[in-house]
């Protein structure tokens, strides 16, 4: 069989690591339960998510695994009500991360950290309804949550904040990658799973 093609074992691995990654991200995202922390999710999620991500990356030797992971995360996020943009962004950021990793021949640890930064762009997909469908999104919130709420939220999420959030995702994805690399070295190599 072709060495470069994804085999059954790879596909199962994708599932296992995606499940771990998703559970950790959801646990961290509970901060978003308090609305003031919503913009902060672009900091915390890539940072903590970097740990399971780097563990996953250390196992990857083939192209396409991160694309599939991004697609699945996008689908799961869509089902939990984060809007349809996240599916697109999940696929794109997964594909880009795959390309970055491929450029380092799946061995370069610098490229792994860089791919963590690129992959973290998906987190921004959660925020996209705030900016892309702004009018209809707030009109819809008005029905359910009331006027005062919408005005306050508009104050927290002004239009001009989106580049900041996007850059935060990438930057903290990078830092998350560094953190993940350090923790991989400290714990997982000793436990014999890397």
Partner 1 sequence: MRLDPRTKLFLLLMVSIFIIGGAGGQRAGLFRVLLAVLSFGLLLSTHSYQKVTAYIVVYIACIMLEIFMLPQLRGLPNFILIFMIGTVTRFMMAILLGQYIIATTTVSEFVASMQRMHVTEKLIIPLSVVFRFFPTIGEEVGSINAAMRMRGIRAGSGNLGKMIEYRMIPMMVCSVKIGEELSVASLTRGLGGEAQRTNICRIGFGLPDSIIILFCICGMAVLLL
CB of 163 to partner 1, least distance (A): 25
d(CA 101, CA 94): 11
Q: Does 132 bind partner 1 (CB under 8 A)?
A: no
Residues 67-86 that bind partner 1 (CB under 8 A): 68-69, 71-72, 75-76, 78-81, 83
Residue 2 or residue 163: which is nearer to partner 1 going by CB? 2
| Residue of 43, 50, 57, 64 interacting with partner 1 (CB under 8 A) | 64
Contact 98, 57 (CB under 8 A): no
Dihedral, 26, 55, 170, 14 alpha carbons, nearest 10: -70
Sign for the CA dihedral angle at 148, 85, 119, 56 comes to positive
CB of 72 to partner 1, least distance (A): 6
Contact 129, 182 (CB under 8 A): no
Residues near partner 1 (CB under 8 A), total: 54
Closest to 50 measured CA to CA, from 114, 106, 137: 114
Contact positions vs partner 1 (CB under 8 A): 1, 6-9, 11-20, 22-24, 33-36, 48, 51-52, 55, 64, 68-69, 71-72, 75-76, 78-81, 83, 139-141, 143-146, 148-149, 152-153, 183, 187-188, 191, 193
């Amino acid at each position: 069989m072709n060495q470069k093609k994804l085999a059954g074992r790879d596909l199962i691995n994708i599932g296992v690591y995606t499940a771990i990654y998703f559970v950790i991200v959801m646990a961290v995202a509970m901060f978003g339960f308090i609305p003031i922390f919503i913009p902060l999710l672009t900091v915390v999620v890539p940072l903590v998510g970097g740990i399971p991500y780097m563990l996953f990356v250390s196992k990857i030797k083939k192209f396409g695994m991160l694309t599939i992971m991004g697609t699945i995360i996008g689908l799961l996020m869509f089902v939990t009500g984060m809007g349809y943009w996240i599916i697109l962004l999940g696929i794109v950021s997964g594909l880009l991360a795959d390309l970055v990793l491929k450029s380092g021949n799946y061995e370069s640890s610098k490229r792994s950290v860089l791919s963590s930064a690129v992959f973290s762009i998906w987190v921004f997909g959660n925020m996209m309804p705030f900016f892309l469908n702004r009018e209809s999104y707030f009109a819809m919130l008005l029905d359910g949550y009331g006027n005062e709420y919408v005005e306050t939220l508009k104050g927290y999420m002004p239009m001009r904040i989106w580049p900041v959030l996007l850059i935060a995702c990438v930057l903290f994805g990078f830092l998350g990658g560094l953190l993940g690399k350090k923790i991989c070295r400290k714990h997982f190599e000793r436990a014999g799973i890397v």
